[in-house]
Amino acid sequence: MILLSVKETQARTAERTNPSAVGLTRSRLFLVLVLALAIGVRVWRVAQAPLWWDEGNNAYFAHCTLSELVGDATRTHETNPPLHRLALALWLRIWGDGAFQLRSLSVLCSVLTVLLLYAWGSEFGGVRVGLIAALVYSLAPMAVYYGREAKGYAFCTLWVVLASYVWWRWCRREGTPFWAAAAMSLSWLLALGSHYYAALALAGQGAWVMVAQARRPRSREQWGVTLRWLVATVAALGVLSIWVVPTWRSALSGGAKPPDDGAITGLLAYGWRMARALVAGPFGPGWATWAGILPLAGLLAAACWRWGRDSQVWLWLLMASLPLAIGYGAQLVVPFQYPRFFSYVLPFVCLLAGAGFVRIGRLGDFLVVGLLVCWLSVLPLALGPRVADEEDMRPLAHAIGEVGAADTPVVVSYIWQEGILRSYLASEREYSLGWFCREDVCDLLSARLAKEQGLWLVTYDVPLQHETNTGGWWLERNAVRASITEHGLGRAVLYLPIPDETPSDCVEFDGGLTLCYTPMDVTTRAGTPVTVAMAWTRGAEVSAAAQQQTVYCHLLDVQGQVVAQADGAPQNGLAPLGGVSSAEPVSDARAVLVPADAPPGVYRLRVGVYDASSGVRLLTSGPAADGVDTGRVTVVDG
């Protein structure tokens, strides 16, 4: 490999870039079309797919203060540095919360990368190199997918490419302007501060600097180049250490957990995994890998063959290949690694493809067309993020937004749930993380219920009444479940405090079962729960049939039609009627949710008992009836 001097490179660049006025106008038109294409495929229905865990994490951290960011990152063993999230915090402060706003920062970064590839490629080998590099990156499935996701990959890629371009364009010269060195240092800081694997891209650039130094060891100019690079990168690493020092132990602990498929120990398996993601995208089929890798390999081979003496091409090669090579060794030590960690190598592959295209004539046209046809065929798979329906939190967010008061606080089980709910709910709510222990759950939740007169609990996977779900376990026993919405593995439950009332009226049902209740007359609005306070006793011995008895509590309109109900055993299903005795009354506070579309008017509450196996209702003693009206509910507008 022969590295050209800066002056030789500038001279060759001047020879390549002398377009006519017509050609310049045409190239600008093509650039506009490429940018429109890049924007279109990244924006189209970008908010339609549900937000998923990692996006929720970013939304959560974007709403944290700096101290909260450090504390929560350490507590949750977060593996990502904070600069992308700080940028996202500023972005959301400007544009507000929402799925589109959350993802639009990645869209912007990905489109800016397209523009940057055009600028760099045009300066290297003419506008055709820049246009092809920009066009290929615009439609690359990996670039499209991560350009639509609210994660740090598009952000990191932009700054890696900018740091490399600024280095090549300005920082290798004698008399480097301060702003250029500062821009490169800041770009590396932003790249490294958004993802630690950007350090492997920095290693690629560093390898190029060291090779150049080795080939011209006595050159004073080369020593100056090396020194400038070292100062700029050390400055970036020094600033990043402010975050790394307090968080590296927890980040390493989080990174030590292998992904589902574990580390890839075989070199061929590792290479195939990376090639498949880079060429066909994260969800591309195997055939698309072969269909895309063949024309892409032809373009890369042409770039190396035709531009073999150009040091810039070797820089691109190092930036594209060295991170992947080091990554193979890294994933044997820290197995938490995915191909998306190396998405920043794709722009350099696209630059090489553009360089190869312009030097092999008509064959280059066929190779580029073949590559683009392959990528267009799998592009629908790249219009993500792809999230399983069972992970979609929008039904839960809808329930929280529609039921109860708009400021009812929300207790979540995971930080990503809070981030997703913040993006979907426009109202200002108080969120808290429900990591309770048995010793403090009573004091914490009873105080919250008394103060707020209700709270939402959002859980994931673990059943409500399971011991490991400490918050749900306590609330099921000590609060009134007013609303429950389940979707997939998620669950949103509204709890209200138990009414502090002593039942005054009593009615006896067959079998010696007695209901005591407090007559109620309340005025409320549609979409809000009404709490009913009752208690049950049994004077006779419990029969076998009593084991099947359950309570119904219905809200009836003026025609006697059921518009809402709360059926089940007392105490949120934890105290079956078969266990009721005369020794101790069983309290039964339950809530009936007035439907959001209930018209204004007067409704009545009716309570009774029925056999769960047959549906036959128990009759009351005295005047026979299958239930008793316990109160009146008046629904008013607004």
Q: How many angstroms separate the Cα of 195 from the Cα of each of 239, 254, 255, 629? A: 15, 14, 12, 63
- Alpha-carbon distance values, 461 to 49, 51, 390, 411, 486 (Å): 21, 17, 10, 15, 10
Q: Nearest-CA neighbor of 368 among 305, 314, 298, 303?
A: 298
Six token digits for residue 236: 């970036």
Classify domain 505-636 at the CATH class level. mainly beta
Q: Taking residues 234-244, what's their average pLDDT?
A: 95
Residue ranges of alpha helices (H) inside 383-462 are: 394-402, 415-424, 441-452
Question: Prior bond to 570 cis, omega within 30?
Answer: no
Rounded CA-CA distance 211/255 in Å is 32
Element spanning 183, H or E = helix 178-192
What's the pLDDT score for residue 546?
Answer: 77
pLDDT above 80 (res 219) = no
- Of 253-257, 271-275, 403-407, which gets the smallest average pLDDT? 253-257
pLDDT surpassing 80 at residue 427: no
Q: What is the mean pLDDT of the chain?
A: 89
DSSP classification of residue 284: -
Task: Give 4's DSSP letter.
Answer: P
The pLDDT of residue 312: 87
**Is the alpha carbon torsion for 443, 446, 450, 451 positive or negative?**
positive
Burial of residue 398 (CB within 10 Å: 0-12, 13-18, 19+) is middle
SS3 content of the chain, % helix, strand, coil (to 5): 55, 15, 30
Task: Pick the more confident residue, 335 or 14.
Answer: 335
Asked if 117 and 132 touch (Cβ cutoff 8 Å), the reply is no
Q: Residue 2: its pLDDT value, please?
A: 36
Instruction: Supply the pLDDT for residue 499.
Output: 87
Q: Can you give the pLDDT at residue 255? A: 75
Question: What torsion, rounded to 10 degrees, do the Cα atoms 92, 93, 97, 103 define?
Answer: -10
Q: pLDDT tens across 186-211, in order?
A: 999 999 999 999 999 999 999 999 88
Give 476 or 19, the one with higher predicted confidence.
Answer: 476
Element (H, E) at 507: strand 505-509
pLDDT score, position 21: 64
Tell me if 337 sits within 8 A of 200, measured CB to CB.
Answer: no
Helix H segments across 256-393? Answer: 267-280, 286-306, 311-333, 346-357, 362-382
Angle of helix 415-424 relative to helix 99-125, nearest 10 degrees? 90
Kindly state the percentage of the chain with pLDDT values over 90.
Answer: 63
**pLDDT tens figures, 19-55:** 566 667 888 899 999 999 999 999 999 999 999 999 9
pTM of the model: 0.89
511 pLDDT more than 60:
yes
Residue 299 has pLDDT above 70, yes or no: yes
Half-sphere exposure in the Cβ direction for 219 (13 Å, CA): 16
**pLDDT surpasses 70 at 8:** no
DSSP secondary structure letter of residue 197: T
Peptide bond into 385 cis (omega under 30): yes
- Secondary structure class of 628 (helix, strand, coil): strand
Alpha-carbon span 492 to 465, nearest angstrom: 14
Range name among 90-99, 312-321, 448-457 with the lowest pLDDT average: 448-457
Q: How far apart are CA 179 and CA 185, in angstroms?
A: 10
pLDDT band at 488; cut points 50, 70, 90: very high
pLDDT at 543 > cutoff 80 = no
The length of the chain, given as a count of residues: 638
Specify the pairing of strand 520-525 against strand 628-636. Answer: parallel
Determine the Cα–Cα distance for residues 591 and 566; give it in Å rounded to an integer.
7
Mean per-residue pLDDT for 333-356? 93
d(CA 337, CA 428): 37
The larger pLDDT score, comparing residue 62 to residue 335, is at 62
User: What pLDDT does 23 receive?
Assistant: 66
CA–CA separation, 518 and 533 (whole Å): 7
Residue among 441, 437, 392 at smallest CA distance from 417:
392
Average pLDDT over residues 382-410: 91
User: What b-and-e string marks burial along 114-125, b requiring 16 or more CB atoms within 10 Å of the CB?
Assistant: bbbbbebbbbbb
Distance CA 563, CA 546 (A): 27
User: Is 60 exceeded by the pLDDT of residue 524?
Assistant: yes
Beta bridge partners of 523: 634
The residue among 607 and 405 whose pLDDT is bigger is 607
Asked which of 2-11, 113-122, 245-254, 571-580 is least confident by mean pLDDT, the reply is 2-11
**Cα gap 18→247, rounded to integer Å:** 51
Amino acid 565 reads Q
Strands 529-538, 513-517: parallel, antiparallel or unpaired by DSSP?
antiparallel
Q: Is residue 3 very low, low, confident or very high in pLDDT (cuts 50, 70, 90)?
A: very low
561: left (phi over 0), alpha (psi -120 to 50) or beta: beta
Find the helix packing angle between 286-306 and 362-382, rounded to 10°.
140
| Residue 419 in tokens | 């981030």
Banded model confidence at residue 18, pLDDT cuts 50, 70, 90: low
Does residue 4 surpass a pLDDT of 50?
A: no
14 pLDDT exceeds 90? Answer: no
Q: Three-state DSSP class for 12?
A: helix
* H helix and E strand count, the chain: 21, 14
**Amino acid at position 157, single letter:** T
**What pLDDT is attached to residue 7?**
47
Edge-to-edge strand list for the sheet holding 520-525: 520-525, 628-636, 601-611, 549-556, 562-565
Q: How many CB atoms lie within 10 A of CB 543?
A: 13
Most confident by average pLDDT, 9-13, 61-65, 88-92, 502-506: 88-92
Nearest to 250 by CA among 80, 46, 396, 423: 80
Specify the residue for token string 């970036």. 236
Query: Kind and range of the H or E element at 227?
Result: helix 220-255
Please state at what angle helix 346-357 crosses helix 286-306, rounded to 10 degrees.
60
CA distance linking residue 412 with residue 429, whole number of Å: 12
Q: Answer yes or no: are the C-beta atoms of 621 and 510 closer than 8 Å.
A: yes
- Compute CA 187 distance to the chain's CA centroid, rounded to the nearest angstrom: 24
- Please compute the mean of the pLDDT values over residues 381-408 and round it to a whole number: 91
Given a cut of 60, whether residue 11 has pLDDT beyond it is: no
Assign 266 a pLDDT band (cuts: 50, 70, 90): confident
